[in-house]
Structure 1
Amino acid sequence: MPHTSTLTVAKFGGTSVANYRAMQACADIVCADPAIKVVVVSACSGVTNHLVTLASGQLSPSQRQQTLEQIAVIQRPILDELGAPAALADYIEQQLVQMDRLSLQAQTSPSGAIKDSLLALGEACSSALFTEVLQQRQQAVQCFDVRQVLRTDSHYGQAEPDLVLIASLCQQHLQPVLATQRVVTQGFIGADSEGHTTTLGRGGSDYSAALLAEALAAEVLAIWTDVDGIYSCDPRLVPAARPIAELSFNEAAEMATFGAKVLHPATILPAVRSGCAVFVGKSSEPQRGGSWIRQQLQGAPGYRAVTLRRRQTLLTVHSLNMLHARGFLAELFAILAKHRISVDLITTSEVSVALTLDNTGSDGCGIELITPALRAELEAMCRLEVTENLSLVAVIGNQLATTAGVARKVFAEIDGYNVRMICHGASAHNLCFLVANSDADAVVQHLHKQLIEA
């Protein structure tokens, strides 16, 4: 990655800070690039999953202790490799004690605030450990509590950032520190107006880093992860998938939204607003390069990628009141907004509306999208049909909506499969449809072979 910027925000994911050796590889990257002033880290790999288990409040005393010990087994070897400096050792032990205390509270009086406070402790540990790694390399660096600047609302579990306040607080509290030293800070977490800890949702560390990059007017946001860039498809599903050297914000946004797991879907938005270039690379092998995401590209190909997003729900509402009536869709979306439901795809007929809802973020986080309250409110105005076990396939590219024959070519290739819903034309960069989970892998593999590899 070339040193072309005056300020780079670098984010390292959970696998990149999984252990002492991985942290040393990240430290190599930071020390080699003087432009990296802000380092954002996720919790060490596996820690957040254990914390989610603790936050469920459903564990027996022995299960609680076993889960706490599993977290300690991840943290303590890193501490030992660092020589267990007294102040750091005391801090890590305090966080483990805090995990124990909050997990007990989650059992007796569960709340979103307790859960977020518990989940944030993973990043508290990893940021303190990585700060010590850099300090032992004689780097001028401090561990900075991101809650000083990353202000959100109080919607625990999926907090919304206050962009104006974040920008102001970064200029007030973070920018002066960067004049003399680097900072290591936490991804995924923030604080509301009362100072209570909040989280941005699973995968929110990328988003945190992008928000800080925007607020600090950084030239580059570098996302260091366990893959060497953004691929044309998930290589675990399609071994022939290949990394994309350069792609536009529009392409990257579509890929992140519709299933490419390298980037959190919201990450691109702050970069688009600020014009900050985004780099995605592999922290254990930085020499392999990666993918650059930029505002505009010249000569981008028609077909760029095929993505897959599992765990989709198709919600179909039927009502004769829609026929030649005004306001039905407004009322429907008002109800969904009230219950904080985000809709991805939509198609309509005279008396029906079909919507897709994404469940991928709910696994393990206790989020139920179609709650009894939402179902009751919808059934008061229409007949409701809910279909599960579906996957969303997206063909990503350029000028797809204005190029003749695109839809015909795509669907000719999957003629033998049942397609439940199609969205095409709203964006020049995607063609999306739903298929049964059981067909999804084969559909993606065939489309990639015919559209990308051919």
Structure 2
Amino acid sequence: MTKTLVYKFGGASVKDAPAVKNLAEIIRNRLRNNFVIVVSAMGKSTNQLEAILSLKLANQDFSQNSTILKGFHLAICSELFPEGHVIFPKVENYFIQLQHELNQPISKENYDEYYDRIIGFGELLSSRIVMEYLCLQNLLVLWQDARELICTDSDFRFARVDWGKTRKKCQAQLKPKLEQFPVLTQGFIGSDSKGRPTTLGREGSDFTAAILAASLDAGSVTIWKDVPGVLNADPKIFNDTTLFAELDYQQAAQMTFYGASVIHPKTIKPLANAGIPLFVKSFLHPDEAGTKIHSQAKADPLPTIILKKDQILVSLKVTDFTFIEEKHIHRVYEQLQALKLRVNMLQTSAISISIVIDSQLFKLEQLLSALKKDFEIRYNEGLELLTVLYPDMASFPQLLEGYQVYLEQSTRHTVQIVRRIN
């Protein structure tokens, strides 16, 4: 039997009506049975939903934001569909459901669960609009709610996948459909054992594609981006970038671990374990080769630059004149795990621990509150974490020109710098 192919289209590839039309052209000659399409929310819809949540939490009026978001989706529909098409009442209905959820109480204590109930509307809207447009173009696809397939725990906003249950559902529910029709579904979202919506972490649609591919024993996954493939730096920030024609799983995983945004960090492992190749290609130039990530690729020690913005440096100093011991590090990581905070960089000295973390709503104040009895704490916000893999030390000073350096760390093949522009 023909192996399943999985295509994932991110927010930029469905950001407006021309982008949706381009998506249809990409799959027009590729569509067949045993074909899964995973789509993200349109454009910056997730950011807009997060802004609505912030206003809701602050007891401020968010009605104008909701109206703008609704208008954005209806305007796209107006360019894609004839007047009176079924998509218009469907979009209206999603916003009625969204408003109903937004009428529910929110607090710091239930924020993560509330976030997951709200944020998935971006993917639901996007997938419904794209599915209806493909059908309008005589590209018949079935719509599938990913929450019926992706089973997770109840760790809201960072849910962990129940691989056994997810595979069973994909084999029992999705596979029979795929034998008859292509299927379109959402990235990023799942549900826990009680049927409550969960999410897989920000930008988690890539991970959804990998989960479905591994659960279906797929032949390949293709992620469609606004870049030619995997580059050695973000072309929006750095000049003279170089395309990797291929990467092995380990090197690709290392890049995502340090924050390379082209692929979600959890994507590589399930594909590597199953031996499923991953292609990263440009939706602007779909016939170009892009990057192939697979087990047979040779490691390429090309200097690779990864920049993470909006970072916080937290320095924790012991107050009882002892030296840093394992118990101190354990205490810090215990709180980080409780708050679902990932350490992007760690450095210890005789009397202090320094960690670099992403900025997240409420999390810093909760971390400080939990650790202030054990440590003297200082922190700096609004920083950047620059990571260079296989650095070319001759050109390295250029990366620091005009910046103040807060922390620096190097190993045999990696240099990390915490910096802020002067």
- Residues 1:242 and 1:410: Cα distance change in structure 2 (over 3 Å): closer
| AA aligned opposite 1:11 | K
Counterpart code for 1:49: N
Structure 1 residues 69 and 376, CA, compared in 2 at 3 Å: closer, same or farther? closer
How much identity, in percent, do the aligned residues show?
28
Tell me the residue number matched to 1:452: none
Would the alpha carbon gap of residues 433 and 111 (structure 1) be closer, same or farther in structure 2, given more than 3 Å must change?
A: closer
Check conservation: 2:7, 2:221, Cα contact below 8 A: yes
Report the equivalent of 1:230: 230
Deviation at 1:185, TM superposition (A): 0.4
Cα distance in 1 for partners of 2:333, 2:202 equals 25
1:19-65 deviation line (CA, Å, top 9, x unaligned): 23211211222232246611011111132222222223449999534
Instruction: Tell me what 1:8 maps to.
Output: 5
Matches of 1:253 and 1:305, distance apart in 2: 13
> C-alpha deviations, 1:43-90, integer Å up to 9, x for none?
111322222222234499995343233223222234332225643332
Aligned to 2:416: 433
Residue 213 of structure 1 aligns with which residue? 213
Match status 1:79 vs 2:77: yes
Structure 2 counterpart of 1:105: 104
**Matching residue of 1:450:** none
**Hey, what does 1:192 align to over in structure 2?**
192
Is residue 382 of structure 2 the alignment partner of residue 385 of structure 1?
no
Structure 1: which 5+ residue stretches go unaligned? Answer: 401-405, 440-454
2:83 is equivalent to residue 93 of structure 1: no
Are the structure 2 counterparts of residues 322 and 248 from structure 1 closer, same or farther at C-alpha, using a change threshold of 3 Å? farther
User: If the length of structure 1 is used for normalisation, what is the TM-score?
Assistant: 0.82
Partner of 2:343: 343
Separation of aligned partners in 2, 1:412 and 1:72:
47
The alpha-carbon deviation at position 119 of structure 1 amounts to 1.6
Q: Does structure 1 residue 369 correspond to structure 2 residue 363?
A: yes
User: How high is the TM-score relative to the length of structure 2?
Assistant: 0.88
How far did 1:225 drift? 1.9
Secondary structure of the 2:168 match is: helix
Q: How does 1:19-418 map to 2 (within 5 A)?
A: 19-34=16-31, 37-58=35-56, 64-80=62-78, 81-84=80-83, 86-105=85-104, 111-298=111-298, 300-319=299-318, 323=323, 327-359=327-359, 362=360, 367-372=361-366, 374-397=367-390
In structure 2, do the counterparts of structure 1 residues 415 and 208 end up closer, same or farther at CA, with 3 Å as the change threshold? Answer: closer
| Structure 1 residues 321 and 170, CA gap change in structure 2 (3 angstroms) | farther
Superposed CA deviations along residues 249-278 of structure 1, whole A, max 9, x for unmatched, are: 222223223232222222222222222211
What is the alpha-carbon distance in structure 1 between the residues aligned to residue 207 and residue 50 of structure 2?
A: 20
Report the residue type matching 2:207 in the other structure. Answer: Y
Structure 1 residue 336, shift from structure 2 partner = 2.4
Q: How many residues align?
A: 416
1:238 partner SS: coil
Structure 2 contact 408–418 (Cα < 8 Å) conserved: no
Alpha-carbon shift at residue 325 of structure 1 (Å): 5.2
Contact 2:31 2:182 in 1 (8 A): no
Aligned-partner SS, 1:436: strand
**SS of residue in 2 equivalent to 1:115:** helix
CA contact (8 A) 1:55 1:106 kept: no
Q: Structure 1 residue 121: deviation in Å?
A: 1.4
Question: Which amino acid counterpart does residue 416 of structure 2 have in structure 1?
Answer: F
Residues 68 and 161 (structure 1 numbering): CA distance in 2 closer, same or farther, change over 3 Å?
same
Q: Is the contact made by 2:14 and 2:20 (CA closer than 8 Å) also made in structure 1?
A: yes
Q: Counterpart of 1:421?
A: 407
Structure 1 distance, partners of 2:44, 2:336, is 33
Higher mean alpha-carbon deviation, 85-94 vs 168-177, is at 85-94
